[in-house]
Amino acid sequence: MDFTLSKLWSDMGLFARLIVGVLLVMSLASLFVMAERLIALSRSQRESRSFAARMASLLGGGDLAAAAAKDLGKGIGHLGRVIRAGLKAYQDGDRSDTELTFESVARALERQAQRELLTLRRGQGVLATVGSVAPFVGLLGTVVGIVNAFTSMAKEGAGGLGTVSAGIAEALVTTAFGLLVAIPAVMAFNYLSNWTDGRSVDISESSNELLDLVAKDLRRAAKAG
């Protein structure tokens, strides 16, 4: 019995081929998301590190006014956009009301952090859907294929495993395809989720450091006033 992929494909029924086609579309979608996310996240991480290095001297010296006025362009990554939002809120704040200014900076940092995390998680829903649904799509094709195999055996009036082995093998191919599509998607989803969680910690730590600097600057300004 020839069980090569080409032979199995030629012997597949219309429904099994439809299942394989759906799985192929899901596979291409997950591969596209993986590639796009890896490129985008790598670029964002690289830009964030560059931003942190360029802002270290300004923020390290406590010169928030100079840091807020500094134009570093658009390529500043997720971390840069969060810190820039906080610095802009500080620059636009009413220095006479230190509590209001501090709260305004904190809210600006939180809002931008949520936006950035949402952007970083883009596409993970596709991977989660493919990883959870693909095995069931393949199983659906297997179940229908096995039903068809036993139905054919009943019509022919013959029994034994040899009679339905080819049909069962063809049916099981869809389950194999489903697993081949789901496993990389689940692995990519877990990797991207862990990566995003790590960047969430980085953003939180950087935001808290900026808030500490803002509190010190406002306290110093209040004493001077």
The amino acid that residue 60 corresponds to is G
% of the chain beyond a pLDDT of 90: 50
Q: Give the N- to C-terminal CA distance of the chain in Å, as an integer.
A: 92
What type of residue is 136?
Answer: F
SS3 track for 36-61: HHHHHHHHHHHHHHHHHHHHHHHHHC
Q: Looking at the predicted structure, is the pLDDT value of residue 36 above 80?
A: yes
Q: DSSP for 118-183?
A: HHHTTTHHHHHHHHHHHHHHHHHHHHHHHHHHHHHHHHHT--SHHHHHHHHHHHHHHHHHHHHHHH
Residue 170 has, within 13 A of its CA and on its CB side, a CA count of 25
Quote the CA–CA distance of 209 and 71 in Å, as a whole number. Answer: 20
Residue 193 domain boundaries: 5-224
**For residue 1, is pLDDT > 60?**
no
pLDDT at 132: 95
pLDDT higher than threshold 90 for residue 168: no
- Name the DSSP letter for residue 74: S
Confidence tier at 163 by pLDDT (50, 70, 90): low
Query: Tell me, what's the pLDDT at 167?
Result: 67
The per-residue pLDDT for range 57-94, each reduced to its tens digit, is 777 777 787 788 777 778 899 999 999 999 999 888 77
User: In which region does residue 73 sit, left (phi positive, over 0), alpha (psi from -120 to 50) or beta (all else)?
Assistant: left
pLDDT at residue 8 in the model: 66
Indicate the number of domains in the chain: 1
With bands split at pLDDT 50, 70 and 90, how would you rate the model's confidence at 156? low
By C-alpha distance, which of 224, 1, 218, 210 is closest to 87?
A: 210
Average pLDDT, the chain: 85
35 and 127 Cβ atoms separated by less than 8 Å: no
Q: Can you give the pTM of this predicted structure?
A: 0.84
Tens digits of per-residue pLDDT, 94-109? 767 788 889 999 999 9
pLDDT, position 162: 59
Q: Across residues 116-124, what is the average pLDDT?
A: 95
What's the rounded Cα separation, in Å, for the pair 193 and 116? 14
DSSP state letter for 76: -
Measured between alpha carbons, how far is 108 from 89 in angstroms, rounded to an integer? 7
- Are the CB atoms for 208 and 54 separated by under 8 Å? no
Pick the most confident of 4-8, 29-33, 69-73, 175-179. 29-33
Question: CA 130, CA 22: separation in Å to the nearest integer?
Answer: 11
Express each pLDDT in 184-207 by its tens digit.
999 999 999 999 999 999 999 999
Q: Flag the least confident range among 26-40, 45-59, 106-120, 202-216.
A: 45-59
Give, as one character, the DSSP assignment of residue 93. S
Identify the pLDDT of residue 84. Answer: 92
